[in-house]
C-alpha cells in the first residue's frame, strides 16, 4: 500500500494510491495546514501499475485507441492465417524444390519485408521492447487463466 508522508513523517501507511492528488492536497491542507508538504510513496507493485496505466494512456492518446489496436491485431491475424494456410496447402502438394520455393511467394510478398525492417532498425515490435521472455510468460499466464475459467463454465 501507498504511504502518505507529511512534513517528512509518515501519517498513513495504508493510503489509497488511486486517490487524486487534489483530494490528497485538500486533506493535507485541512489536517496539517497551508505550510504542510506532502508526498505519496508507492509500493513497487503500485509504481509498476501506475507505469502501465501511464503507458496505456499514452498509447491510447498518441497511437490508437483499444478498438483500433484490436482491429489491427485482428487484421494481422487474418493476414497470417490466410497466407499460412495458402503456404501449407501449396507446400503439401509440392513435388520439387522449385515448387516448394514457389509456395512461399505469396507469404513472402505479404510479410517478407518485415524481417529486413526489424534488422535495419526501422521497425521494432513491442514484444522486443518488453522482452520476449516476459511476453511469453504473459501469454501463457493469460491463456491458462482463460482456460481455467472456461473449464468452470
Q: Is the residue at 117 inside a domain?
A: no
Together in a domain, 23 and 45: yes
Cα–Cα dist 45/38, whole Å: 21
pLDDT tens digits for range 55-66: 999 999 999 999
- On whether both 68 and 47 belong to a single domain, the answer is no
Q: How many CB atoms lie within 10 A of CB 2?
A: 20
Over residues 77-106, the pLDDT tens digits come to 999 999 999 999 999 999 999 999 999 999
pLDDT greater than 90 at residue 153: no
Residue 1 pLDDT exceeds 90: no
104 and 148, same domain (yes or no): no
Tell me the pLDDT tens digit for each residue of 27-43. 999 999 999 999 999 99
Distance CA 2, CA 13 (A): 6
CA–CA separation, 124 and 41 (whole Å): 34
Let me know whether 107 and 141 are in one domain.
Answer: no
- Domain shared by 49 and 76, yes or no: no
**pLDDT tens digit sequence for 45-56:** 999 999 999 999
Q: Is residue 75 part of a domain?
A: yes
pLDDT > 90? residue 125: yes
Domain count for the chain: 3
Q: Which domain holds residue 48?
A: 2-54
- Among the candidates 54, 81, 96, a domain finishes at 54
Position 121 confidence tier, pLDDT thresholds 50, 70, 90: very high
Amino acid at each position: 500500500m501507498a504511504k502518505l508522508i507529511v512534513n517528512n513523517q509518515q501519517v498513513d501507511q495504508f493510503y489509497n494510491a488511486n486517490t487524486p492528488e487534489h483530494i490528497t492536497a485538500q486533506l493535507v491542507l485541512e489536517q496539517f495546514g497551508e505550510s504542510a508538504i506532502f508526498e505519496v510513496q508507492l509500493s513497487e507493485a503500485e509504481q509498476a501499475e501506475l507505469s502501465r496505466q501511464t503507458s496505456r494512456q499514452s498509447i491510447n492518446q498518441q497511437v490508437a485507441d483499444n478498438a483500433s489496436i484490436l482491429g489491427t491485431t485482428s487484421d494481422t491475424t487474418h493476414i497470417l492465417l490466410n497466407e499460412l494456410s495458402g503456404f501449407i496447402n501449396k507446400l503439401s502438394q509440392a513435388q520439387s524444390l522449385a515448387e516448394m520455393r514457389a509456395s512461399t511467394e505469396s507469404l513472402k510478398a505479404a510479410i517478407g519485408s518485415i524481417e529486413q525492417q526489424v534488422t535495419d532498425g526501422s521497425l521494432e515490435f513491442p514484444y522486443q521492447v518488453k522482452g520476449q521472455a516476459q511476453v511469453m510468460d504473459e501469454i501463457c499466464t493469460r491463456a491458462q487463466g482463460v482456460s481455467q475459467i472456461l473449464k468452470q463454465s
